[in-house]
Chain A
Amino acid sequence: MSEGGERDENTIICRCEDISLADIRRLVERGYTTIDEIKRLSRTGMGPCQGKTCRLLLMQELARATGRPPGEVALGTFRPPTKPFKLGLLVGKEGETRDSQDTGGGEDDGGQGGAAR
Chain B
Amino acid sequence: MSGGPKKYDAIVVGAGPAGLSAAAELGRAGARTLVLDRDTRPGGQLVKQTHKFFGSEKQRAGTRGVEIARLLREEVAALPAVEMWLNSTVLGFYSDRVITVERVKDAPGEERREWLEKVTAPVFVLATGAAERFLPFPNNDLPGIYGAGAAQTLMNVHGVRPGRRVVMVGAGNIGLIVSYQLLQAGVEVAAIVEAAPVIGGYLVHAAKVRRAGVPILTSHTVKEAHGREALEGVTVWRLDEKWQPVPGTEKYIAADVLCLATGLSPLAELLFQAGCQMAYVPELGGHVPVHGEDLETSVPGVFVAGDVSGVEEASAAMVEGHLAGLGAAARLGLVRDLAAVAAGWRAELASLRAGPSGEKIRRGLAKLAGQTAGMAASSPAGSPVSPASAPAASAPAAPPPATSAPKPGKPGRTLSPQLTSTGEPAASELESSLPPADRRRQGPYAVIECFQEIPCDPCHKACRTGAIGPFPDINLTPAYEAAHCNGCALCVAQCPGLACFVVDENYSPSEALLKLPYEFLPLPAAGHTVDLLDRTGALVGSGRVVRVVRSRSKLATPVVWVTVPSEKVGTVRNIRVPATKGGAAE
Contacts and interface: CB of A to CB of B under 8 A. Distances in A.
A108 B96 contact: yes
A53 B265 CA distance: 10
B114 A89 contact: yes
A6 B138 CA distance: 9
Interface residues of B, number: 43
Interface residues of A, number: 47
Main secondary structure of the interface of A (DSSP, over half): loop
B252 interface: no
B113 A95 contact: yes
Interface in A70-117: 70-71, 75, 77-83, 85-86, 89-90, 95-100, 102-106, 108-110, 112-114
A39 interface: no
Interface string B93-120: 1111010101000000001011111100
Nearest to A18: B141
B1 interface: yes
Given A53-B134, A103-B3, A110-B96, A83 B91 contact: yes
Contacts of A85: 91, 102, 114, 116
Contacts, number: 127
Given A80-B93, A98-B1, A109-B98, A56 B116 contact: no
B114 A79 contact: no
Given A71-B280, A89-B102, A109 B113 contact: no
Interface stretch (B26-34, B55-63, B268-276, B513-521): B268-276
B94 A110 contact: yes
B115 A102 contact: no
B102 A52 contact: no
A114 B114 CA distance: 15
A10 B113 CA distance: 40
A15 interface: yes
B155 interface: no
Interface string B267-302: 101101100000110100011000000000000000
Interface in A44-70: 50, 52-54, 56-57, 61, 70
B134 A90 contact: no
B266 to A, nearest CB: 11
B115 A97 contact: yes
Q: Which 8 A-B pairs have the closest CB atoms?
A: A80-B92, A71-B280, A100-B115, A102-B3, A81-B91, A78-B272, A104-B116, A103-B116
Given A15-B134, A82-B89, A85-B116, 19 more contacts: A7-B138, A11-B137, A11-B139, A18-B141, A52-B267, A56-B265, A57-B134, A57-B136, A78-B272, A80-B91, A80-B92, A81-B102, A83-B102, A104-B118, A105-B100, A109-B94, A109-B96, A110-B94, A112-B94
Interface of A: 6-7, 10-13, 15, 18, 21, 50, 52-54, 56-57, 61, 70-71, 75, 77-83, 85-86, 89-90, 95-100, 102-106, 108-110, 112-114
